[in-house]
Structure 1
């Protein structure tokens, strides 16, 4: 299993890292070249309805995580994410949220690690 790390898409990654953008919407103000994203899995991001409901409000995070895990169950995009991770030794899930503790990449990492939180 690859080492899966999290990083804001605006920050650079160490050489040899496969970067997977897990946002449904392209990051504001960032060119595709500067993002250095190897794969954009927009469909693995939370639904538009869930993303808007959450609004990056930390007090809603636990409920957001629960609903997002439900969305991931049986998701073809989540299967694609797992395949991409399996194919690379070092992977970073990159995201645009300012809050590094309350975002979909945190939920994805936990689900992939089996903790699901």
Structure 2
């Protein structure tokens, strides 16, 4: 019971972050919705089913669950947002540690662009 509740809470938190990401340009929506679906599948199957039936997120989640596919539009959005985030961070932070963020983003983008569409 505790484990299911933790999955539910994690799913709700991920879905909330995804909703915030829909209006904030530097916070991605897609990864958080995917995470929410993952958590709900383990903690609350009815909420997982609701996400799969959702008009906006349903097709994205169905493609992901069936083939690990990510739409080209989402790939481009992630690429542009990561590039903008790194550029802004470089201008504002000016830290030597930003190389780690850049390498991490590059690795994520390589993985993302290798996914089917």
Q: TM-score, length-normalised on structure 2?
A: 0.30
Higher RCO structure (Cα 8 Å, ≥6 apart): 1
Structure richer in helix, relative to its length: 2
The structure with the largest strand share of the pair is: 1
- TM, length-normalised to structure 1: 0.30
